[in-house]
Amino acid sequence: MTNYSIEVENLVKFFGRRLIFNEINFSFSSSHVYGISGPNGSGKSTFVKILSCLISPTKGKVIHKKDELIIEEEKLHNHIGFVSPYLFLYDEFTAEENLKHFSKIRGKIFDNEFSNYLLQEFNLYERKNDQIKGYSSGMKQRLKFVFALLHNPEVLIFDEPTSNLDNKGKEKVYEIILRMKKDKLIIIASNEDTDLSYCENILELEKYKTK
Amino acid sequence: MKAYSLYKKDWQSELRTRYAINALSMFILVTISVILFSIGSEKITEYLTGGLLWVVIFFSAMSGLSRAFVSEEERGTTLTLQLIASPSTIFSGKLLFNIVLVFLMNIAITILFSILFDSFIIKNIELFLIAFLFGNIGIAISSTIIAAIISKASSKGTLYPVLSFPILLPLILTLLELTKFSMDGNSIEKSFVEIAVLISYDVIMLTASYLLFDFIWKD
């Protein structure tokens, strides 16, 4: 089993003059589920984007390590699976075409069997050849999970994972979290109590609001 | 290979949505028609047709090439790209797409010019082809990096030509000079300085774009 960790050191983020959070020091490691909590506008999405190195912090740093070796930022995308409400897939492609393109752009061979397995798991297999512009918001949300899991990443970052999902969809997400937590590092950013109840450690962003 | 996969994804997407192709085809047809109507039965000089050719090419590039990044930003798929590829792969893929698009667009414009304008006569085809090759690559590189910059801005439409003009001006001036030389029938040796300027422009723009793209793409 690989040992993956994310170390956050003195993280500060400002948007203009507005402080989002100040001096966050935290460590995340595999085989655990972490929660990021806070009310709307508290910076949960910003924090997970910084964790994934999608945006830069104003100050401080984020270090990803796999088996104690630092992972270069350039290669980080192959280690992270990300689900978020502001993540969009290509509407003009079918679910399968989207997944095929993503695998190839990552430089990996498209694993048709694993893709079908995930599509079946998220109840999308029957519609895999439909353009996703015809999907409901719940179906699009489920497809984002397939997108996040297809390359078998060590880190799963779920920002508001159950938004737009019905009860069956939510149960599937919780089942995935419980199943994957043994060997993956899972981070959930949410203000839903049920989502956070699966987390062993919770980082409350409201505590980092003062200068 | 990863960049080529992104290029293929972009072409497949373009053929389905026709974001850039429709805008470019309409722009080319309308512009050339307007030039033809305004000239009427007047005779225009060779040099003027050469100049008009690059004016049409410059403005066509303005209307279509920004789509590479703007369409990703408008559809909200920028984050998706960030999650599947490194910045250098994304820039290479988008650049490849724009190079092919520029070549297709400019070949169409040049063919239309040679059919519709009697005075568009190139005496030294090789020199013109060299200018055409490196000129198109230069236009594609500049347009791609400018598209990446403006895709993050709120007033994309106006910002693109404003930013492009000073960056593309040295390139267009050199291309105008080389087109004039090829119409005069000058040899490649005689036009060496202009060709060197053209190739240098491409190399400098390509290097600067790869260095800058990381910063543009991340925030």
| pLDDT in the model for residue B47 | 87
Instruction: Give how far A87 is from chain B: nearest CA, Å.
Output: 6
Contacts of B8 in chain A (CB under 8 A): 101, 104
Q: CB distance from B80 to chain A under 8 Å?
A: yes
Confidence of residue B186 (pLDDT cuts 50, 70, 90): confident
User: Nearest CB to A105: which of B5, B16, B79?
Assistant: B5
User: Nearest CB to A105: which of B13, B75, B85?
Assistant: B85
| pLDDT in the model for residue A145 | 94
Tokens matching residue A35: 């929660």
Contacts of B16 in chain A (CB under 8 A): 92-93
- The residue count for chain B: 219
Instruction: Give how far B104 is from chain A: nearest CA, Å.
Output: 23
Tokens matching residue B37: 């109507």
Q: Which residue of B has its CA nearest to A80?
A: B83
Spatial separation of the C-alpha atoms in residues A49 and A13, rounded to whole Å: 11
Spatial separation of the C-alpha atoms in residues A86 and B48, rounded to whole Å: 50
- Residues above pLDDT 90, as percent of chain A: 61
Q: CB distance from A108 to chain B under 8 Å?
A: no
| pLDDT in the model for residue B111 | 93
Q: CB distance from A32 to chain B under 8 Å?
A: no
Spatial separation of the C-alpha atoms in residues A6 and A32, rounded to whole Å: 12
- Rounded to an integer, the average pLDDT of B161-178 is 90
User: Nearest CB to B75: which of A88, A97, A147?
Assistant: A88
Would the pLDDT of A116 be above 90?
yes
What is the 8-class DSSP label of residue A36? E
Average pLDDT of every residue of chain A: 90
- Rounded to an integer, the average pLDDT of B96-111 is 93
- Residues above pLDDT 70, as percent of chain B: 98
Please answer whether residues A156 and A187 qualify as being in contact, where contact means their C-beta atoms are separated by less than 8 angstroms. Answer: yes
Would the pLDDT of B218 be above 80?
no
Q: CB distance from B216 to chain A under 8 Å?
A: no
Would the pLDDT of A211 be above 70?
no
| pLDDT in the model for residue A207 | 85
Instruction: Give how far A197 is from chain B: nearest CA, Å.
Output: 27
Q: Whole-angstrom distance between the N-terminal and C-terminal Cα of chain A?
A: 40
Interface size A-B, in CB pairs within 8 Å, comes to 72
Q: CB distance from B87 to chain A under 8 Å?
A: yes
Instruction: Give how far A5 is from chain B: nearest CA, Å.
Output: 19
Do residue B219 and residue A92 have CB atoms under 8 angstroms apart? no
| pLDDT in the model for residue A190 | 92
| pLDDT in the model for residue B195 | 94
- Residue A44: exposure state from Cβ atoms within 10 A (0-12, 13-18, ≥19): buried
Q: CB distance from A105 to chain B under 8 Å?
A: yes
Contacts of B12 in chain A (CB under 8 A): 93, 97, 101
Residues 6+ apart with CB under 8 A from A79: A4, A64, A66, A71, A153, A154, A155
Do residue B13 and residue A93 have CB atoms under 8 angstroms apart? yes
Q: Which residue of A has its CA nearest to B73?
A: A88
Do residue A87 and residue B80 have CB atoms under 8 angstroms apart? yes
- Rounded to an integer, the average pLDDT of A153-163 is 92
Q: Per residue in A12-58, pLDDT tens?
A: 999 888 888 888 899 999 999 999 998 888 889 999 999 998 888 99
Spatial separation of the C-alpha atoms in residues B106 and B46, rounded to whole Å: 18
* CATH code assigned to A1-78+185-211: 3.40.50.300
Do residue B75 and residue A84 have CB atoms under 8 angstroms apart? no
| pLDDT in the model for residue B219 | 65
Contacts of B219 in chain A (CB under 8 A): 55-56
Tokens matching residue A54: 């999608």
Do residue A89 and residue B1 have CB atoms under 8 angstroms apart? no
Q: Indicate if the alpha-carbon torsion angle A77, A82, A88, A93 is positive or negative.
A: positive
User: Nearest CB to A56: which of B83, B87, B219?
Assistant: B219
Q: CB distance from B152 to chain A under 8 Å?
A: no
Q: Which residue of B has its CA nearest to A93?
A: B13
- Residue with tokens 């090829």, as numbered in its chain: B182
